[in-house]
Amino acid sequence: MANETWSTKSWTLTELSQILGGEVFGDGNLVITAPATAKSSNPNGLAFAESAEYLEIAAHSGVGAVIVPLSTQNFSKPTIQHEAPRKAFGALLHLFQTPYLLTESIHPTAIIHESATIHPSAKVGAYAIVEANAIIAEGAEIFPHAYIGENCAVGMYSKVLPHAVLLRKVTLGSHCEVGPGAVLGHSGFGYYWNGEKHVAIPHVGGVEIQDHVDIGALTAIDRATADNTTIQEGSKMDNLVQIAHNVDLGAHSVLASQVGIAGSTVIGKGNVSGGQSGYAAHLVIADGVSLAGRTAALSSIEKPGVYGGIPAMPIREYRRNLVVQKELGSVMQRLKELEKEVERLKGELS
């Protein structure tokens, strides 16, 4: 088996079949150096294909080998036949994954306040800053140019990647990852009109990120006006997500890119929010609610299920409405014709 450097990881097709399960057909000695798509030109890449369409694409691309369904016959390239090709490919991706690593415990260019507490097993990268009373727990890693503000805490084995910012009063649980450029603990967006100008409302609360939470690059999670903005355990966020002050996001939720959640909204467990979907302020969203992409929840949702549209409605209703919208032009034309006919009939009866 290859070493841990991405560029030198490799297995033969036979070795991979033993790891992933399945049976090799063709050249089992083919060396695989990378996962690949069905369209790839990599002769040492391994792709997967389940449908007739993608089997055809893979057969005519430059990819070296393919994971295919059981009983696939007469394929033109070496294959691993597997009962679940997509699942096998997922396992292949894990084999080739290389974790982010820091090589030094505390880089000499890191700036660490004398009152900060850093566990001996933690690592702090080049030009990172750890401010007063911050706590960096066992096995945590603070990557180059990251900023850990005063009174912040980074839990065990969590990673704060380059240029990420934990600004103030942020508690990050264990086994979390904060993506590059993410900002946690900046002031929430709140102002009041005093008769002459907008005056900022102080946000003196914090941010609580529970265990096993992943936060994407350039995501922003604002600190609370009072108490905490809370991200419950196991939740995962894509890049460019905005979570406002005092939001409470339920456990094991998944937010795709450009989701926005306005202030003080409470979202239940197992939420799934598609890209560019959003929630108005002060809502309560039930457990098990999913929003399709570009859906806007403008009022609270009491029942689990899939919702779509603006405002959010049950997905079947939304799809029916889409069909009607496509016909609106012809419906309007027919309505105008009917109005003309009614007027003509009125004239004949008068």
**Digit-coded pLDDT (tens) for 81-97:** 999 999 999 999 999 99
The amino acid sitting at 216 is: G
Token representation of residue 337: 């014709």
pLDDT for position 98: 85
Q: What is the pLDDT of residue 196?
A: 97
| 323 vs 187: which has the higher pLDDT | 187
Q: Is the pLDDT of residue 75 over 90?
A: yes
- Which residue do the tokens 């084995």 mark? 157
Flag whether pLDDT at 122 surpasses 90.
Answer: yes
Which DSSP helix (H) or strand (E) runs through 338? helix 328-349
pLDDT at residue 125 tops 50: yes
What value does the mean pLDDT take over residues 96-101? 86
Q: What does the block give as tokens for 14? A: 């036979």
pLDDT bin (cut points 50, 70, 90) of residue 346 is confident
* pLDDT value at residue 112: 98
Q: How confident is the model at residue 329 (pLDDT cuts 50, 70, 90)?
A: confident
As a whole number, mean pLDDT of residues 262-278 equals: 98
d(C-alpha 173, C-alpha 153), whole Å:
8
* 0.95 exceeded by pTM: no
CA distances for 307 relative to 235, 289, 291, angstroms: 20, 8, 5
pLDDT on residue 5: 40
The answer on pLDDT for 336 being more than 80 is: yes
Candidate list 175, 212, 245, 252, residue with the active-site label: 245
Task: State pLDDT tens for residues 230-253.
Answer: 999 999 999 999 999 999 999 999
pLDDT at 7 over 60: no
Looking at residue 99, its pLDDT comes to 83
- 281, 298 contact by CB (below 8 A): no
Active site residue 94: no
Q: Encode pLDDT of 202-226 as tens digits.
A: 999 999 999 999 999 999 999 999 9
pLDDT of residue 30: 97
Rg (Cα) of the chain, in Å, rounded? Answer: 27
Residue whose C-alpha is closest to residue 152's, from 112, 224, 206, 188: 206
For residue 6, the model assigns a pLDDT of 45
Helix, strand, or coil (residue 172): strand
**Strand 289-291 versus strand 278-279 pairing type:** unpaired
Q: How much is the average pLDDT of 24-35?
A: 97
